[in-house]
């Protein structure tokens, strides 16, 4: 058996279409909930190598997926930079929001690798326990998305504070981004050095940016991170997921330096084939709600995605993360459908 996911990302031919699923380790799995119940604090859970290793391996064992993505969170970065990060049940992440650009001075990436050592330790441990055909995936959030939590203090509907920095205090935001670019690139390099064979950058909120702001706050910093990581680890494929970036996926695919672009479920498949796949490997894009639905509607759409995209460099995934109400049986059926597909 070969590592079909790694090969697809390198543009090499594979035996079968590789599949992994964003948020494949998570609340929809009873075995995850059991481990999770032992660690009430979410960040402590992320920083417990034994537990992180176990929940990372659970979906790989259960479903025979082609990738194992380390169980962690994008907010380990602000935590390591010295911002207070918490998670409240039912409310999600809660941070002590940066009041203004002057607060950046209190943040520092000194000691980042020590602070995040449990993540790297878990990656090493997972790597040593993975079946030979499974690819180890590391990840980080993109600066725009991480900055949104740091400045908004949590989730946001309209990104009012973040955009007030972008539009009204761009020098301040640029300073924060300089710090984030360096920290994220270092975190990705450390994950690779610990055993990650592929890394993915999640820009979950890239889709709310108008054109010029997208160039400045999504494309440019992501390209800088890709360039830094490639400078140290040129052979490691990088996937970028600028969620809901629509017209701007093309710029990520063709000019960020990434090997692959992960697309959300609203991207037309013919566009992905004719435009994006010409520039990069494409990953995606089943609607997670079709995975909740299961049965023939899910399989039909999975086949349509495969028929359109699997002729070129392609990794099957969802358009967004698995949601908690997903029946695990549907995941098993999807993996089977993808692995059995032939052109």
| 174 interacts with a second copy by CB under 8 A | no
**Window 59-118: residues binding a second copy (CB under 8 A):** none
Q: Could you give the CA distance from residue 95 to residue 82 in angstroms, rounded to a whole number? A: 11
Q: Closer CB to a second copy, residue 114 or residue 329?
A: 329
> Residue 213: how many CB atoms within 10 A of its CB?
16
Smaller CB separation from a second copy, 117 or 289: 289
Could you say which of 214, 241, 314, 316 contacts a second copy (CB under 8 A)?
Answer: 214
Considering only residues 290, 302, 333, 334, which one is a binding residue for a second copy as defined by CB under 8 A?
290
**CB-facing half-sphere around the CA of 254: CA atoms within 13 A:** 11
269 binds a second copy (CB under 8 A): yes
Instruction: For 281, list phi and psi in degrees, rounded to 5.
Output: -65, 140
Q: In the complex, what is the shortest distance from the CB of residue 199 to a second copy, in angstroms, rounded to a whole number?
A: 26
d(CA 152, CA 337): 41
Shortest distance in whole angstroms from residue 210 CB to a second copy:
5
Q: Tell me which of 3, 7, 163, 330 binds a second copy, using CB under 8 A.
A: 163
Collapse the DSSP code of 116 into the 3-class scheme (helix H, G, I; strand E, B; otherwise coil) and give the result: coil
* CB of residue 168 to a second copy, shortest distance in Å: 5
- Judged by CB under 8 A, the residue of 34, 41, 96, 211 near a second copy is 211
Residue 206: is the preceding peptide bond cis (ω within 30°)? Answer: no
Q: At 62, list the tokens.
A: 């259960």
Among 41, 44, 266, 332, binds a second copy (CB under 8 A): 266
Window 229-258: residues binding a second copy (CB under 8 A): 244, 246-247
Q: Please give the sequence-ordered ranges of beta strands (E in DSSP) within the chain, or none if there are none.
A: 67-69, 85-88, 92-95, 135-141, 198-202, 238-241, 260-262, 281-286, 314-318
Enzyme catalytic residues: 23, 27, 36, 73, 149
* Given 127, 174, 289, 339, the residue binding a second copy (CB under 8 A): 289
**CA-only gyration radius of the chain, Å:** 19
Of the two residues 197 and 301, which places its CB atom closer to a second copy in the complex? 301
Would you count residue 147 as binding a second copy (CB under 8 A)?
Answer: no
The two tokens of residue 38 are 């032992």
Contact status: 208 vs a second copy (CB under 8 A): yes
Q: Which of 94, 293, 337, 341 binds a second copy (CB under 8 A)?
A: 293
Q: Which of 204, 218, 205, 210 is nearest to 167 (CA)?
A: 210
- Indicate the SS3 state at residue 274: helix
> Minimum Å distance from CB 318 to a second copy?
12
Q: Could you give the CA distance from residue 5 to residue 7 in angstroms, rounded to a whole number?
A: 5
Q: State whether residue 197 is helix, strand or coil.
A: coil
Q: What share of the chain is helix, strand, coil (3-state, %, to 5)?
A: 55, 15, 35
What whole-number distance in Å separates Cα of residue 78 and Cα of residue 101? 15
Using CA atoms, how far apart are residues 56 and 267, in angstroms rounded to an integer?
A: 29
> Which range binds a second copy by CB under 8 A, 8-16, 43-51, 162-170, 195-203?
162-170
Least distance from a second copy to the Cβ atom of residue 265, Å: 5
Mask 301-320, x = binds a second copy (CB under 8 A)? x-----------------x-
Q: How many residues does the chain have?
A: 343
Shortest distance, CB of residue 237 to a second copy, whole angstroms? 26
Q: Please, what is the minimum distance in Å from the beta carbon of residue 312 to a second copy?
A: 18
For a second copy, the binding residues (CB under 8 A) are 158-160, 163-164, 167-168, 207-211, 213-214, 244, 246-247, 265-269, 271, 285, 287-290, 292-293, 297-298, 301, 319, 323, 325
């Amino acid at each position: 058996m070969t590592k079909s996911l790694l090969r697809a990302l390198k543009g090499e031919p594979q035996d079968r279409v590789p599949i992994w699923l964003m948020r494949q380790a998570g609340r929809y799995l009873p075995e995850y909930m059991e481990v999770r119940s032992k660690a009430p604090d979410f960040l402590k859970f992320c920083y417990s190598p034994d537990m992180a290793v176990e929940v990372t391996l659970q979906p790989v064992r259960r479903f025979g997926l082609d990738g194992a993505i380390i169980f962690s969170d994008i907010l380990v970065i602000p935590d390591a930079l010295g911002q207070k990060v918490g998670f409240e049940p039912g409310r999600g992440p809660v941070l002590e929001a940066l009041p203004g650009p002057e607060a950046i001075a209190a943040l520092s990436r000194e000691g980042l690798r020590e602070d995040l050592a449990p993540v790297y330790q878990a990656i090493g441990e997972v790597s040593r326990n993975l079946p030979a055909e499974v690819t180890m995936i590391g990840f980080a959030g993109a600066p725009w998305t991480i900055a949104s939590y740091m400045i908004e203090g949590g989730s946001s509907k309209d990104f009012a504070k973040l955009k007030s920095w972008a539009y009204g205090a761009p020098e301040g935001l640029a300073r924060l981004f300089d710090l984030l670019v360096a920290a994220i690139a270092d975190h990705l390099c450390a994950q690779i050095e610990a055993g990650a064979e592929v890394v993915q950058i999640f820009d979950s909120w890239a889709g709310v940016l108008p054109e010029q702001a997208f160039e400045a706050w999504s494309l440019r910093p992501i390209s800088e991170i890709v360039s830094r990581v490639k400078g140290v680890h040129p052979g490691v494929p990088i996937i970028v997921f600028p969620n809901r970036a629509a017209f701007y996926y093309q710029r990520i695919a063709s000019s960020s330096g990434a090997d692959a672009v992960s697309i959300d479920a609203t991207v037309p498949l013919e566009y992905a084939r004719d435009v994006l796949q010409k520039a990069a490997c494409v990953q995606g894009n089943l609607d997670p709600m079709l995975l909740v639905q299961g049965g023939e509607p899910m399989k039909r759409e999975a086949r349509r995605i495969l028929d359109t995209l699997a002729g070129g460099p392609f990794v099957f995934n969802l358009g967004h993360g698995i949601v908690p109400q997903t029946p695990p049986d549907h995941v098993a059926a999807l993996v089977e459908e993808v692995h059995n597909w032939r052109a």
